[in-house]
Amino acid sequence: MRLSRPRPWEFLIALAAAAALAGDAAYRGSGSLGVAIPLALIASLPLAWSRQVPLAALLATVAGLLVCLAAFQPYDTAVFVLAVALYNVASLGDRRRSLIVGAGTALFLVALIMVIASDNLARNTGIRLGVVFAALVLGDTVRSRRELREARRERDLRIAQEREQENLRRIADERLRIARDLHDTVAHALVAINVRAGVAAHLRASEDSEPALREIMAVSAEA
């Protein structure tokens, strides 16, 4: 699959996430900015392609965040960057995939927190899992509403097409009815002309009228 160039706002989201990670290191003094900024960019730039390849972007972001955690420990910020990738996975996939990714992410986070957390294990785990599941639920809700809007739009389009076909059918029926009425009217008139001309010719009202009457008979009979 060939990736297209991300849109500007997708780059802005990735850069904002990188700035948050590097800012975390600067605020807490947990690492050199010369190291934090490049690592933050590496971890966050996959978010720019997360709408094209959400699962691959999630895996790349997780790998980058692990490197950031080892280098300058942006524990809180990393969870929110991860939440952005999870949101895209949920909003662009389906519920089954969201559940699988959510379960895998939860297990991964619990294992990671047990390794790096020294105190408040339950609190740290609860907060981070809450952020992760909130991102998944929000993404799934957005996806569901988008699919509902698309279904409604398709239904409205189908109804409009059915109405148009019904209108065309009614027009065709009306044309057929008009054609039949016209046929009956013309046929009745021609029969009447033919009958009267035949009667007039039979009566031989005058010698001058007979040729014309016979011509009327011939033309009306042919018609």
Q: Average pLDDT, stretch 139-158?
A: 93
Does 214 score more than 80 pLDDT? no
Chain-wide mean pLDDT for the chain? 86
Alpha-carbon distances, residue 70 vs 35, 45, 157, 200 (angstroms) = 12, 18, 54, 117
CA distance 65 to 43: 5
Q: pLDDT digit string (tens) for 79-125?
A: 999 999 999 999 998 889 989 999 999 998 888 888 876 677 778 78
What is the pLDDT at residue 150? 92
Taking only the tens place, the pLDDT of each residue in 151-188 is: 999 999 999 999 999 999 999 999 999 999 888 888 88
Residue 47's identity, in one-letter code, is L
**Which pLDDT belongs to residue 189?**
76
Q: Please write the tens of the pLDDT for every residue from 8-58.
A: 899 999 999 999 999 988 887 777 888 899 999 999 999 999 989 999 999
45: nearest Cα among 87, 2, 5, 100: 5
pLDDT at 203: 66
206 pLDDT above the threshold of 80? no
Q: At what angle do helices 54-72 and 8-28 cross, to 10 degrees?
A: 20
